[in-house]
């Protein structure tokens, strides 16, 4: 479930729609935790058998955890990637929960690092504008500071 202080807006500079803080969200505050009925989950094998159009929906919205693709069915799916995100996974690299990495100011876009959860079907140009930008978000992409 998404933190109630967060709402969908069409004013994102990253990708038209995005999620924004309606009021300040404090460092370490819970941003999102999974709720079973807000997540669809299929195995990679099931994904391989889908018709092309259904596959594309998964490619556009899913994140991979181990051998499963997961997709949020609520507004969480609109959380954009940033190479300098203001949220982080907790525990690290396992989004059992997503928490604020620092204070997120009112009207600031809430962003997440997609990189640990990309699958080989996904690749898109990054518009995050951070100094650390990977430029193309894809599996195994590397931040500038790590190159």
List 6, 78, 83, 104, residue binding Zn ion (CB under 5 A): 83
- According to DSSP, residue 44 is labeled H
Instruction: Tell me the per-residue interface mask from 108 to 127 with Zn ion, x by CB under 5 A, - otherwise.
Output: ------------------x-
Cα gap 144→123, rounded to integer Å: 17
Residue 133 contacts Zn ion per CB under 5 A: yes
Number of amino acids touching Zn ion (CB under 5 A): 4
Reduced to 3 states, what is the DSSP secondary structure of residue 127?
Answer: coil
- CB-based contacts of 46, cutoff 8 Å, min separation 6: none
Question: Does the footprint of Zn ion cover residue 78 (CB under 5 A)?
Answer: no
Shortest separation between residue 52's beta carbon and Zn ion, angstroms: 29
Cβ-proximal residues to 68 (8 Å cutoff; 6+ apart), any chain: 41, 42, 43, 44
Residues 32-71 that bind Zn ion (CB under 5 A): none
Q: Which residues make up the interface to Zn ion (CB under 5 A)?
A: 83, 126, 128, 133
């Amino acid at each position: 479930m998404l933190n109630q202080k967060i709402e969908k807006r069409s004013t994102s500079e990253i990708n038209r729609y995005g999620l924004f803080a309606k009021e300040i969200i404090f460092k370490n505050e819970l941003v999102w935790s999974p709720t079973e009925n807000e997540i669809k989950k299929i195995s990679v094998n099931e994904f391989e058998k889908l018709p092309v159009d259904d596959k594309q929906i998964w490619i556009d919205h899913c994140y991979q955890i181990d051998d499963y693709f997961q997709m949020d069915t609520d507004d969480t799916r609109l959380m954009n990637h940033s190479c300098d995100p203001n949220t982080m996974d907790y525990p690290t690299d396992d989004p059992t929960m997503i928490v604020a990495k620092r204070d997120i100011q009112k009207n600031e876009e809430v962003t997440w690092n997609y990189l640990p959860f990309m699958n080989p079907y996904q690749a898109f140009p990054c518009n995050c504008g951070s100094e650390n930008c990977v430029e193309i978000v894809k599996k195994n992409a590397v931040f500038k500071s790590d190159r």
